Amino acid sequence: MSISLDKATLEAALVGYQQHLQQIEAKMADLRRLLKQPAAAAPAPAAKRATKAAPAKQKHRMSAEGRARIAAAQRARWAKTKKAQKAQE
């Protein structure tokens, strides 16, 4: 099953996630008020965080199991290709 991700779909997803983030931050603020924490102890809201430079992303480390699955799939593809070539000869 292939999902087409055009610009409009991605923008709609981004808006949805931003709204979700605002709801979560509002709930966190309510909890902080219940705990009587000062507002200064709270992290910056999303609007302020967005203006800062994005931190460098960490590299994704693939597990040995994941590498093995990819290698096995590639070997299977090569075997299928070689079998098709032998059939044509």
Residue extents of the structural domains in the chain = 7-50+63-88
User: Which residue from 32, 29, 59 is spatially nearest to 46, judged by alpha carbons?
Assistant: 29
Amino acid at 53: A
The whole model's pTM is what?
A: 0.36
Using one digit for the tens of pLDDT, what is the confidence trace for 33-88? 888 866 555 565 555 555 566 677 888 889 999 999 999 999 999 999 999 999 88
Q: Are 42 and 66 in contact (CB under 8 A)?
A: no
pLDDT for 1: 42
Stretch (H or E) spanning 26? helix 7-35
Identify which has the larger pLDDT, 13 or 38.
13
CA–CA separation, 50 and 25 (whole Å): 14
Position 8 confidence tier, pLDDT thresholds 50, 70, 90? confident
